[in-house]
Structure 1
Amino acid sequence: MLLRSKENKIISYLSLFSSFGTLICCAIPSTLVLLGFGASLASFLGEFPQLIWLSENKELVFGLSFFMLAVSFAGQKYAEKQVCPIDKKEDCQNTKNWSKPLFYVTLVINLIGAFYAFVLPKLM
């Protein structure tokens, strides 16, 4: 049971970080350009040209991110049905309590990034 808790925690963190990848790839650059900070974005990408790969492969980045969110959601649903062990009950309950808000924050971040990457360019 403790191993399952660690796996669930790792999956939650991976889904959160993959969602931040979608923000770095699409939402933050679009917002900077929209607000008139295009030169700042260009100098930032000049320093970190590896970030351009994220924008060029946004379908892969978002696909991976939404896949990780689906795995995280399935893991949470599975964990809800499991009984916490008596010796680790408090830790188990804390993990269950913080994993749901973390999942929803991650989902919102991902949806914002998807809006900037796929919907907003078609509106302009």
Structure 2
Amino acid sequence: MDGQIEQKRSAATSWLALFAGTSTLLCCALPAMLVTLGAGASLATLVSVFPQIVWLSEHSAWVFCIGAVMLLLGGAAQWQQRHAPCPLDPGLRQACMAQRRRSVRIYGVSVLLFAVGSWFAFIQPWWSGG
């Protein structure tokens, strides 16, 4: 099928990795940023509307472990599909290549979100001595 299944699998893992990166951002980076900016009341309102954020923060080690595994799987899928064949039809080939580039960008954003969340969850508190 000219790599269509592999392309769909690669795109799906990229979206899952984005979800994992976003969850780490919500659990740790967003609350830390709001408190740093002096928006503690906004954080309290956010937590009252979305109490799941507290659960994510309490279980941040699990959130980060699952996120890291999803990012590794997404990266492996990206690496494996980097030379996968695209259809011979020019229109389909162009769409295939555009999807491949989009998938790589989504994965990059996911890794960036994961890194920001990791900074606020683990590195910055350690650096600050707390």
TM value normalised by structure 1: 0.92
TM value normalised by structure 2: 0.88
Give the CA deviation at 1:4: 1.6
Give the CA deviation at 1:102: 1.9
**1:20 matched residue in structure 2:** 22
Structure 1 residue runs without a partner (length 5+): none
The whole-number CA distance in structure 1 between the counterparts of 2:99 and 2:74 is 13
**2:111 matched residue in structure 1:** 107
Structure 2 residue runs without a partner (length 5+): none
The whole-number CA distance in structure 2 between the counterparts of 1:23 and 1:118 is 12
Give the CA deviation at 1:101: 2.0
Identity %: 35
Runs of 4+ residues over 3 Å off in structure 1:
none
Q: Secondary structure at the match of 1:23?
A: helix
Aligned-residue Cα RMSD (Å) equals: 1.2
How many residue pairs match? The answer is 124
Give the CA deviation at 1:31: 0.6
**2:7 matched residue in structure 1:** 5
CA offsets 1:21-45 (integer angstroms, 9 cap, x no match): 1111000100101111112111211
Larger helix proportion of the pair = 1
Superposed, 1:1-124 pairs within 5 Å as 1-87=3-89, 88-124=92-128
Give the CA deviation at 1:52: 0.9
